[in-house]
Structure formats: structure tokens, C-alpha cells
Amino acid sequence: MRQLIRDVPDFPEPGVVFKDITPLLADHAAFTEVVSALADAGRDADGTVVVDKVAGMEARGFILAAPVALALGTGFVPVRKAGKLPGATHAVSYALEYGEATLEVHRDSIDPGDRVLLVDDVLATGGTADATRRLVELCGGTVHAFAVLMELSFLSGRDAIDGLPLHSLQTV
């Protein structure tokens, strides 16, 4: 897996090293293995599915979360940037290094009591993950765990998710 994630220096801006997962996605065996490993975060020790929905954050989280939902036999919930969903939504804003962002989810996409697995490609500062957790809670659901392809430990995103079980396939 590590060999199929390439570093792209100075993208999208100078000083940033972007983790490009497209080579991994293009490799059927690796992509299948990643989806299976991420889906394990939605099962108990006996392999029983313990979540009702899988939520994926825009945009690369969609690519991973949708097949994870299929693997678990659950629904997929897209968490989008503000203004991208057509129905009534809940919205949560959060701070970024350079400003603020807002995420939204359809109000009816998560039922009260639903157990939700959050899936994304990278845990960096944790702002997106925490905002998504708050959206799930606004709908009346509970977050079971957060599963990511990679955790960038030097950015301390784990601190922002405050005790939420984290399943990371790789830590950098």
C-alpha cells in the first residue's frame, strides 16, 4: 500500500506534500484490500456488522466510503461542502489554517439511533472528522469509529477527534 501512495511536493501550494492515492485506486488488488480493511472498523470481533451507515467526507472520502458501505451492507451518506446538497441540511463550520469551511449532510440521511462509521482518506488536523461527527450527532446518530487510509501524526488530528476510536491503515 505504501508503495502505491505517492508524495507530490508543493501541491496544492508550496511547502505542502500531497499524498496522492490515485495509483492505489488504480490497482484492483490494493484497492480491494484497502476497502476490506476499512470495513473491518464497522464490524465487531466476530465479524458482525455493528454500524447502520457509512459517512464519507468530500471528496476523496467518497471514493473509499461508498465501497466500504457496500462491503458492510449499509447505506452511504455523503458529507458535502456547503451548498452542494439539494435537500434540507444540517451544517457545521470549522476552522482551517487559512480560514473557515462548512460541511453539510441531509437531515434525513441518518436516523436517530443510527450507528455511523466515518471514512476518509487522511486524518490531518482532524477538523473535517470532528465536524462530521457533529453532523451525525445533529441527525441523532452516534459515531461508532473513524476509519482512514492514512493518519498524518505530525498534525495531531487525533486530538481533535477526542476519544473517537480511530482505525488507520497507515501512520506517517
Residue with grid cell 476510536, as numbered in its chain: 165
> β-strands 53-57, 142-151: how paired?
unpaired
DSSP string, 154-169: GGTHHHHTTT--EEES
Q: Grid coordinates representing 118?
A: 466515518
Q: Give the active site residue among 2, 13, 97, 100.
A: 97
**∠ at Cα 134 (172, 41), nearest 5°?**
50
Burial environment of residue 57 by CB neighbours within 10 A (0 to 12, 13 to 18, 19 or more): buried
Q: Is 13 a catalytic residue?
A: no
Strand pairing partners for 53? Answer: 75, 116
The DSSP H or E segment spanning 108 is none
Q: Give the active site residue among 43, 60, 107, 134.
A: 60
Q: Is 137 a catalytic residue?
A: no
Distance of CA 47 to the CA centre of its chain: 21
- The set of catalytic residues is 60, 97
